[in-house]
Amino acid sequence: MTISIRNISLFAVTALLFVIVGQVQSWSLSLSILNLCLISAIMALGVNIQWGYAGLLNVGVMGFAALGGLAAVLVSSPPVAAAWSVGGGNLLVGLLIAALTVGLIVWCYYDMRGTKRRVLIAIVAVAGYFATRAFWDPAADAIEAVDPAATGFLGGAGMPIIFAWLIGGLFAAGAAWIVGKISLGLRSDYLAIATLGISEIIIAMLKNEDWLTRGVKNVIGLPRPVPYEVDIQQSAYFQELAADWGMSIIELSSMVVKLSYAGLFAIVLLIVLYLSETALRSPWGRMMRAIRDNETAAEAMGKDVKGRHLQVFILGSAVVGIAGAMLTTIDGQFTPSSYQPLRFTFLIWAMVIVGGSGNNWGAVLGGFIIWFFWVEAEPIGLWFMDLITSSMDESNPLRLHLLDSAAHIRLMAMGVIMLLVLRFAPQGLIPERRR
- Radius of gyration, alpha carbons of the chain: 24
Contact 160, 24 (CB under 8 A): no
Q: Which residues pair with 219 in a beta bridge?
A: 334
Which of 12, 23, 137, 248 touches other proteins by CB under 8 A?
137
Tell me the CB-side half-sphere exposure of residue 188, using CA atoms within 13 A.
9
Q: Which of 319, 377 has the CB closer to other proteins?
A: 377
Find the shortest distance in angstroms from Cβ 189 to other proteins: 4
Q: Which of 148, 263 has the CB closer to other proteins?
A: 148
Piece of the chain touching other proteins by CB under 8 A; list 12-20, 35-43, 321-329, 348-356:
348-356
Contact 432, 49 (CB under 8 A): no
97 binds other proteins (CB under 8 A): no
219 binds other proteins (CB under 8 A): no
x/- site string to other proteins, residues 42 to 61, per CB under 8 A? Answer: -------------x-x-x--
182 binds other proteins (CB under 8 A): yes
Residues 302 to 321: which contact other proteins by CB under 8 A?
none
Q: How many CB atoms lie within 10 A of CB 99?
A: 12
In a 10 Å sphere around its CB, with 0-12 CB exposed, 13-18 middle and 19+ buried, how is residue 8 labelled?
Answer: exposed
Q: Which of 41, 194 has the CB closer to other proteins?
A: 194
Cα(404)–Cα(416) distance, rounded to whole angstroms?
Answer: 21
297 binds other proteins (CB under 8 A): no
Find the shortest distance in angstroms from Cβ 196 to other proteins: 6
188 binds other proteins (CB under 8 A): yes
Find the shortest distance in angstroms from Cβ 413 to other proteins: 7
Cα(176)–Cα(104) distance, rounded to whole angstroms?
Answer: 22
Cα(168)–Cα(64) distance, rounded to whole angstroms?
Answer: 9
Output phi, psi for 402, to 5 deg: -65, -40
Q: Which amino acid is at 184?
A: L
Residue 150 C-alpha from the chain's centroid: 27
Which of 113, 423, 434, 435 touches other proteins by CB under 8 A?
423
Find the shortest distance in angstroms from Cβ 210 to other proteins: 11
Cα(144)–Cα(137) distance, rounded to whole angstroms?
Answer: 11
Contact 226, 207 (CB under 8 A): no
Q: Which of 197, 227 has the CB closer to other proteins?
A: 197
* Residues near other proteins (CB under 8 A), total: 47
Q: Which amino acid is at 104?
A: L
Find the shortest distance in angstroms from Cβ 188 to other proteins: 5
x/- site string to other proteins, residues 105 to 134, per CB under 8 A? Answer: ------------------------x-----
Q: Cite the DSSP H helix spans in 209-245.
A: 210-213, 229-234, 236-245
Which of 270, 415, 425, 427 touches other proteins by CB under 8 A?
415
Classify the phi-psi angles of 227: left when phi > 0, otherwise alpha if psi is within -120 to 50, otherwise beta: beta
Find the shortest distance in angstroms from Cβ 166 to other proteins: 28
Residues that bind other proteins in the complex, under the rule CB under 8 A: 55, 57, 59, 129, 137, 182-183, 186-190, 192-194, 196-198, 200-201, 204-205, 207-208, 340-342, 346, 349-350, 353, 404-405, 408-416, 418-419, 422-423, 426
